[in-house]
Amino acid sequence: MPLGALYPDAIELLERAGVDVSPLRDGSRKLIFTAPDGTVFITTRPSDVPTYVEAGSADIGIVGRDVINERHPDVYELLDLEFGACRMAYATADGVDPTSEIIARLGVLRVATKYPAVAEAHFLATGRQVELVKVNGSVELGPLVGLADGIVDLVATGRTLRENGLVEREHIFDSSARLIANRVSHKLRAEEIDALTARLAQAVAAESR
């Protein structure tokens, strides 16, 4: 279970799919919760979800596509859960987009991001050299204080960008929450995982209708 922005929606979707999520609602600071039916919920930072699933510590996990694209974990991506919708984007300060001018005159673009692998792949694929500055929070600061020319970050409503005088320049990919499964659990617990996936797919479809 990813703590943070996806957490409430993840709980709600699981509940609509008939999973007993009552232990997750008790507001405790525990990291592991066991439901009466024996289901164990492990809560962790979103970026660690693929690590636990890939290592088999968890059979299945819920995580944003952004984390999957950054980490490329060796797991099955089973279902688009459709909540937590947002997009990965490249943004620079308001005004004229300085990107092509910087590439032409300096040859290399400096980009601040929490997603170095995603950013590097995007600029490589578009034939531009990039120098990445890895930051852990408040990426929007980068262009404002001269740390970087632009940022690559997740954008939900665009409000944070606007309030910090940044403009979205390039759309990289759309993200939303995904259901992932460990390669071995997906086979050893095939029947259980397929049943849960089907219930979640129904719940997702009912929501979007």
Residues in the site for another protein, rule: CB under 8 A? 54-56, 74-80, 178, 182-184, 186-188, 190, 194, 197
Between CA 2 and CA 17 the distance in angstroms is 18
* Alpha carbon separation from 33 to 29, 41, 44 (Å, rounded): 10, 5, 12
- Residue 77 neighbours by CB distance under 10 Å: 13
Rank residues 39 and 160 by Cβ distance to another protein and give the closer one. 39
Cα–Cα distance measured from residue 30 to residue 197, given in angstroms and rounded to the nearest whole number: 26
Residue 9 or 80 having the CB closest to another protein: 80
What is the C-alpha R_g of the chain?
A: 19
Query: Residue 151 or residue 154: which is nearer to another protein going by CB?
Result: 154
Q: Supply the minimum distance, in Å, between the C-beta of residue 80 and another protein.
A: 5
- Please state the closest distance from residue 79 (CB atom) to another protein, in A: 7
8 Å CB contact between 197 and 81: no
Q: Are 135 and 113 in contact (CB under 8 A)?
A: yes
- Minimum Å gap between C-beta 177 and another protein is 11
CB of 187 to another protein, least distance (A): 5
User: Rounded to the nearest whole angstrom, what is the least distance from the CB of residue 52 to another protein in the complex?
Assistant: 10
By beta-carbon proximity to another protein, the closer residue of 135 and 181 is: 181
Closer to another protein by Cβ: residue 71 or 122 = 71
- Alpha-carbon span 60 to 25, nearest angstrom: 20
Cα–Cα distance, 7 to 63 (Å, whole number): 10
Residue matched to tokens 């164990």: 40
> Count of alpha carbons within 13 Å of 170, Cβ hemisphere only?
15
Give min distance, CB of 161 to another protein, in A.
Answer: 27
Q: Which of 58, 28, 15, 18 lies closest to 40 in space, CA to CA?
A: 58
Q: Which is nearer to another protein, 61 or 142 (CB)?
A: 61
